[in-house]
Amino acid sequence: MPITDILQRNCEQFGNEICLVEINPEVKETRRVTWKEYALTEPSPVSYYRREITWNVFNEKSNRFANLLLSRGVKKGDKVAILLMNCLEWLPIYFGILKTGAVAVPLNFRYASDEIEYCVNLADVDVLLFGPEFIGRVEEIADRISEHRLLIYVGDNCPSFAESYNEMTADCSSYAPDVALTDEDDAAIYFSSGTTGFPKAILHNHESLLHACKTEQAHHGQTRDDVFLCIPPLYHTGAKMHWFGSFLVGAKGVLLKGTQPEAILDAVSKEKCSIVWLLVPWAQDMLDAIDRGDIDMSKYELDQWRLMHIGAQPVPPSLIKRWKERFPGHKYDTNYGLSESIGPGCVHLGMDNIHKVGAIGKAGYGWETRIVDERRCDVARGEVGELAVRGPGVMTCYYNDPKATAEVLEGGWLFTGDMAQEDEDGFIFLVDRKKDVIISGGENIYPVQIEDFLRAHDAIKDFAVIGLPDKRLGEITAAIIEIKAGKTCTEEEIQEFCKKLPRYKRPKQVIFADIPRNPTGKIEKPKLRKIYCGENLVAAQNEVELVMNK
Q: From start to end of 339-427, where are the E strands?
A: 343-348, 362-363, 368-372, 385-390, 397-398, 409-410, 413-422
Gap between the Cα atoms of 76 and 103, Å rounded: 8
Helices first, then strands: H and E counts in the chain: 17, 27
Contacts of 145 by beta carbon, 8 Å cutoff, 6+ apart: 117, 120, 121, 128, 151
Instruction: Supply the pLDDT for residue 394.
Output: 97
Residue 140 lies in a domain: yes
Nearest to 305 by CA among 256, 268, 254, 261: 268
Tell me the per-residue pLDDT of 148-177, one tens digit each, with 9 for 90 and over: 899 999 999 999 999 999 999 999 999 999
Residue 363 lies in a domain: no
Q: For residue 380, what is the DSSP state?
A: P
Gap between the Cα atoms of 106 and 283, Å rounded: 26
Residue 389 lies in a domain: yes
Tell me the per-residue pLDDT of 198-228, one tens digit each, with 9 for 90 and over: 689 999 999 999 999 999 999 999 999 999 9
Instruction: Tell me, yes or no, whether 69 and 8 share the same domain.
Output: yes
Distance of CA 114 to CAs 117, 140, 150, 452, 509, Å?
A: 5, 9, 18, 36, 34
Q: For residue 186, what is the DSSP state?
A: E
- The sign of the dihedral angle between the CA atoms of 529, 533, 536, 540 is positive
Instruction: Supply the pLDDT for residue 312.
Output: 66
Residue 364 lies in a domain: no
The residue segments making up the domain with residue 539 are 437-549
Instruction: Tell me, yes or no, whether 299 and 389 share the same domain.
Output: no
Instruction: Tell me, yes or no, whether 413 and 452 share the same domain.
Output: no
Gap between the Cα atoms of 230 and 153, Å rounded: 24
Nearest to 545 by CA among 496, 475, 491: 491
Instruction: Supply the pLDDT for residue 544.
Output: 36
Do you find a cis peptide bond into 314, omega within 30 degrees of 0? Answer: no
Number of domains the chain contains = 3
Instruction: Tell me, yes or no, whether 380 and 243 share the same domain.
Output: no
Residue 366 lies in a domain: no
Instruction: Tell me, yes or no, whether 313 and 380 share the same domain.
Output: no
Q: Which of 434, 467, 483 is the last residue of a domain?
A: 434
User: Which amino acid is located at 263 in the chain?
Assistant: A
Q: Which of 322, 356, 390 is the last residue of a domain?
A: 356
Instruction: Tell me, yes or no, whether 281 and 387 share the same domain.
Output: no
Nearest to 115 by CA among 59, 192, 212: 192
Instruction: Tell me, yes or no, whether 467 and 426 share the same domain.
Output: no
Instruction: Tell me, yes or no, whether 379 and 325 share the same domain.
Output: no
Residue 413 lies in a domain: yes
Instruction: Tell me, yes or no, whether 429 and 442 share the same domain.
Output: no
Gap between the Cα atoms of 215 and 380, Å rounded: 28
Nearest to 244 by CA among 98, 363, 456: 98
Claim: this prediction has a pTM higher than 0.85 = no
For the chain, how far is it from start to end, CA to CA, in angstroms?
63
CATH number at 414 reads 2.30.38.10
CATH number at 520 reads 3.30.300.30
Residue 191 lies in a domain: yes
Gap between the Cα atoms of 315 and 483, Å rounded: 19
Instruction: Supply the pLDDT for residue 30.
Output: 44
Gap between the Cα atoms of 419 and 431, Å rounded: 5
- Rounded to 5°, the CA angle 248-254-259 comes to 130
Mark the ranges of the chain whose per-residue pLDDT is less than 70: 27-48, 193-198, 312-314, 432-434, 441-443, 471-472, 518-521, 534-550
Instruction: Tell me, yes or no, whether 509 and 453 share the same domain.
Output: yes
Instruction: Tell me, yes or no, whether 399 and 449 share the same domain.
Output: no
Cβ density class 392-424: b for 16+ within 10 Å, e for less = bbbbbbbbeeeeebeebbeeebbbbbbbbbbee
CATH number at 232 reads 3.40.50.12780
Q: Which of 309, 327, 356 is the last residue of a domain?
A: 356
Residue 212 lies in a domain: yes
Instruction: Tell me, yes or no, whether 390 and 474 share the same domain.
Output: no
Whether 88 contacts 53, CB under 8 Å = yes
